Amino acid sequence: MSAIPASVPHLDRAHLLERLASIVPFRFLSNGQLKDLVAASAQRRYIEGEALITQGDSAAREVFVLLAGSVESVDVSRNPAFRMNVVDAVSYFGEGPALFGLPRSFEVRALEASTVLAIPDDTFLALLSASRPFAQALGTKLRAGLGLFDAFDRFEAEVHRGEALGHIEIRRLVEVYKTLEPALHPLVADEARIDWSALAYAVRRLPENVTRCFVFLLTDNLPSVYASPELLFPFVPTEARHRFVYEMMPGKDMVLVRSGVSDIMDFLTCLSVFAVESRKIRYRLNHPDLILALTRLDKAEGDESAKAILSPFSGEEVAELEGLWPGKAVEKVREIVFHRQAWSVDVRKQINNFNGTLNELWSGQVGHAAADLMGMSPADFPDDIEVHIVSSNTHSVSNCLNPFFIERAPDILAWAGREGLRMPGWTDPMDEVYSLARPWLAAFPGMQTEVRAAEARNGIIRLPERVTTGIQVQLIRCEGVCDRGIDPGIAIGACAESSFIVNIDYAFGEQAEEIMRSLLLLFGKNVRTINIIGKAGGLQGSRGDILAPTAFIGQAADAFQPLEPEDRGAIARLGAALPGRAVHEGPMLTVGGTLLQNRAMLQFYRRVWACIGLEMEGIWYLHSILEARELGVLRRGARSRFLYYVSDLPLSADERLSARMSPLEGIPPLYATTRETLRGIFAGQLR
């Protein structure tokens, strides 16, 4: 640093504290916090033209408060260098690297003799945890000033534009998608490397014929002429997303999307991932000889000439292709090459249609089933009929309440032992039984009939899936399952005869609001508890940890909604049930889609809002619950609770979202939260 002229001011401690106290967000700190901040920081002076920050520096993460003078930010990667902005005195800058771990975006130079306070990154981050007013004031300025969410706003605007026009231009949308730099698609901009994890995630959630389909018709309601699509068109499976997709003709699929925009967003983001990564695959085979070989390809995968077509891929990459499409890798690569990502997506949303929506038809089906169960319409239920709503994956609740698994546990474990499937490490012995029941039932498919028969005998009724909301339903008579050899971790006594559980499968994003509203309109005055059991991405902790939210934050507008505090006894029981796992409490972020977030966004919510995790439905469920309370639809005193387990870590650099959780990772937290939820329901049923 050059000699500093006397004209560059050096502030004494009193003036420095006074200056800091005039700057947002520092003005919201206590006097003691300001003094500690000054003590931990360094006052520096710069002459005109001197650089405070070097562009591209990834080591220095200090935050600067400009006490006197002015500075400019310059993009020196351009020729000539381009001034981006000018910062005047009594402002702060340079917080991005501290918050998001990113290298410096621009060079910062003094425009005149200037004085700054350099705050160490750890001191700055500690203030975010110590002072909520400081954190919230910073968050408000960042959201407006840094443009963190501009790329997401552009993507959503593009989708809404296409939705209004009835047609989505995929090539245009993909270019906007690339600017998102999704946390779960880290190689989106790397043309040389295929992001196998992101590709596998997309492939498992798109129609199986995506490489052969050119037109997708997305509709939220079946046209009346196609009221029975299963009788008209072949069904197209999707492995990891419960979709109703029908092949109307070769190259054209009709996709039934759930209400709201979340399902459309999910489909389009997955299609964008597939477009980006399949283009990389296509470019690997961009040679006349390979193209000619593909045109002559015999679909017999065992032929060595067919295998030679994959020569541009490494052995590991060929294994990835085979993992994606077992026995069909070469055939799928051929389709990708000649398809060239030439999709047309039409959107048909319901307008001027006085027929019932899918959700209305679904709630009608639930209402009729409840009427059959109780002998009267839900509108006529007396006050002593108690209804408990549970949103979960439907198998964990029914497994815990079906005595079949207790009775058959010795057979399941003995078979698994002979097959070499047992593994050590289970804390609750029934968790191992539930884990092994799936392969056991696959080996003995006839036993599935006995499982269903045992459910029916013990008051568990599965509604046939006649309506394509993608949400399966079970009605469970509490009286039917009490004292019937259910999971020993759920201690119950005699139950009220007039109580039942409405157990629904996971909703999807915005659809949750309408689904919960439908259930509360049906049963609101009889609802005693509303229980949401879900899985979420963790912003702290490890896979398999438990998240107990204290509030939800809607990412679209930072809408903050506090929750009822979780029972301390429940937190203790969950911790005891899962030794080696942690139970985290704090706000949860509700996002618009699994791929609609990047590392900067997630760090923003982790640092500023202290979010412990992210999911897609929480705030939508909560909207309906709060609405029903305010309107008097939901009885006074009805309780709601939300519990999640961590299924992935989007901020982890080596995390693969497409990788399934191991049984020991996923089964214990799923069943611990299920048992705790059922314990809470049945605790109120004891006579």
614 with 142: CB under 8 angstroms? Answer: no
Euclidean distance between CA atoms 249 and 215, whole angstroms: 10
280 with 194: CB under 8 angstroms? Answer: yes
Asked whether residue 686 carries a pLDDT value surpassing 50, the answer given is no
How far is C-alpha 564 from the geometric centre of its chain's CA atoms? 22
Euclidean distance between CA atoms 177 and 183, whole angstroms: 12
Element (H, E) at 177: helix 170-178
Range with lowest mean pLDDT among 41-50, 222-231, 264-273:
222-231
Euclidean distance between CA atoms 570 and 534, whole angstroms: 16
Asked whether residue 168 carries a pLDDT value surpassing 90, the answer given is yes
Asked whether residue 474 carries a pLDDT value surpassing 70, the answer given is yes
Interval 361-381: pLDDT, tens: 888 899 999 999 899 999 999
**Cβ neighbours for 363, distance < 8 A, ≥ 6 positions apart:** 518, 519, 521, 522
pLDDT value for 361: 81
Euclidean distance between CA atoms 220 and 348, whole angstroms: 7
662, two tokens: 């191991």
How far is C-alpha 433 from the geometric centre of its chain's CA atoms? 28
Question: Is the peptide bond between 80 and the residue preceding it cis, with omega within 30 degrees of 0?
Answer: yes
**DSSP strand pairing (499-504 vs 386-391):** parallel
Euclidean distance between CA atoms 246 and 254, whole angstroms: 5
Instruction: Provide the percentage of residues in the chain whose pLDDT is more than 90.
Output: 68
Interval 660-670: pLDDT, tens: 788 999 999 99
pLDDT value for 166: 92
How much is the mean pLDDT over the chain?
89
For residue 104, name the pLDDT band (cuts at 50, 70, 90). very high
Interval 519-556: pLDDT, tens: 999 999 999 999 999 999 999 999 999 999 999 999 88
Q: Tell me how far apart the 2 most distant CA atoms of the chain are, in Å.
A: 91
436, two tokens: 């092994």
pLDDT value for 351: 47
pLDDT value for 286: 83
79, two tokens: 């020729």
**Cβ neighbours for 268, distance < 8 A, ≥ 6 positions apart:** 159, 168, 173, 345
pLDDT value for 307: 67
Euclidean distance between CA atoms 242 and 258, whole angstroms: 10
Euclidean distance between CA atoms 338 and 83, whole angstroms: 46
Interval 240-290: pLDDT, tens: 888 899 999 999 999 998 877 889 999 999 999 999 999 999 999 888 888
The number of helices, as runs of H, and strands, as runs of E, in the chain is 25, 23
Q: Is 523 helix (H, G, I), strand (E, B) or coil?
A: helix
Interval 199-222: pLDDT, tens: 999 999 999 999 999 999 999 887
For residue 5, name the pLDDT band (cuts at 50, 70, 90). low
What are the structural domains, with CATH classification, of the chain?
A: 13-145 (2.60.120.10), 153-346 (no CATH), 358-371+385-402+458-683 (3.40.50.1580)
More confident residue, 420 or 295: 420
**DSSP strand pairing (559-562 vs 546-554):** antiparallel
- Amino acid sitting at position 340: R
CA 277 → CA 195, 210, 274, 512, distances in Å?
7, 13, 5, 31
Interval 105-154: pLDDT, tens: 999 999 999 999 999 999 999 999 899 999 999 988 888 776 778 889 89
Mean pLDDT along residues 554-580:
90
For residue 502, name the pLDDT band (cuts at 50, 70, 90). very high
How far is C-alpha 107 from the geometric centre of its chain's CA atoms? 36
pLDDT value for 4: 61
Tokens 């169960």 belong to 373
Number of other CB atoms surrounding residue 328 within 10 Å: 17
Q: Closest Cα partner for 680 from 393, 394, 395, 478? A: 478
257 with 222: CB under 8 angstroms? Answer: no
- Amino acid sitting at position 575: G
pLDDT value for 352: 42
Q: What is the DSSP secondary-structure string of 384-429?
A: T-EEEEEES-HHHHHHHH-HHHHHHHHHHHHHHHHHT---S--SSH
292 with 334: CB under 8 angstroms? Answer: no
Interval 13-41: pLDDT, tens: 898 999 999 999 999 999 999 999 999 99
Tokens 């420095």 belong to 16
What is the value of pTM for the model shown?
Answer: 0.88
Euclidean distance between CA atoms 283 and 65, whole angstroms: 48
251, two tokens: 């190259």
Euclidean distance between CA atoms 275 and 94, whole angstroms: 36
Euclidean distance between CA atoms 661 and 77, whole angstroms: 43
Asked whether residue 467 carries a pLDDT value surpassing 60, the answer given is no
